């Protein structure tokens, strides 16, 4: 089992729709969870981080964490063509001391105009 798993996609949504991106992780003791966006040929850039169970909203983005289910998701409301990118889920597992970040392979998102 991979430490961080994501559906590779591509996920295609029409402009203005809600895009839902999902991620599961294996280490139940994981402490910190991150979503990064990566445009083709560019480096990852942080969108959001979440530490506690529940929802965290920032503009059009909402991160959701369910530690019991070992599941973290990212919702993008009012999706725009500029949101088309690969979205990377990242986790800091407790068994690594908390500073070693494990990334998923990413989900490719296409927003159709």
The minimum distance between CB 29 and another protein, in angstroms, equals 10
Binding site for another protein (CB under 8 A): 4, 8, 31-32, 34, 42-46, 49, 51, 88, 90, 92, 94, 96-106
Residue whose CB is less far from another protein, 14 or 98: 98
The minimum distance between CB 99 and another protein, in angstroms, equals 6
Angstrom distance (rounded) from CA 89 to CA 48: 10
Residue whose CB is less far from another protein, 19 or 34: 34
In terms of Cβ atoms closer than 10 Å to its own Cβ (0-12, 13-18, 19+), residue 103 is middle
Residue whose CB is less far from another protein, 41 or 113: 41
The minimum distance between CB 78 and another protein, in angstroms, equals 25
Phi, psi angle pair for 18, to nearest 5°: -95, 130
Q: Which residues contact 3 (CB under 8 A, 6 or more apart)?
A: 25, 26, 27, 91, 93, 102
């Amino acid at each position: 089992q991979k430490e961080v798993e994501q559906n590779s996609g591509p996920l295609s949504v029409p402009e203005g729709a809600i895009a839902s991106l999902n991620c599961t992780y294996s280490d139940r003791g994981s402490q910190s969870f991150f979503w990064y966006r990566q445009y083709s040929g560019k480096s990852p850039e942080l969108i959001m981080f979440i530490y506690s169970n529940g929802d965290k909203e920032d503009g059009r983005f909402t991160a959701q964490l369910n530690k019991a289910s070992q599941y973290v998701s990212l919702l993008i409301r009012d999706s725009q063509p500029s949101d088309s990118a690969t979205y990377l889920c990242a986790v800091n597992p407790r068994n690594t001391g908390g500073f070693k970040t494990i990334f998923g392979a990413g989900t490719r998102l296409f927003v159709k105009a």
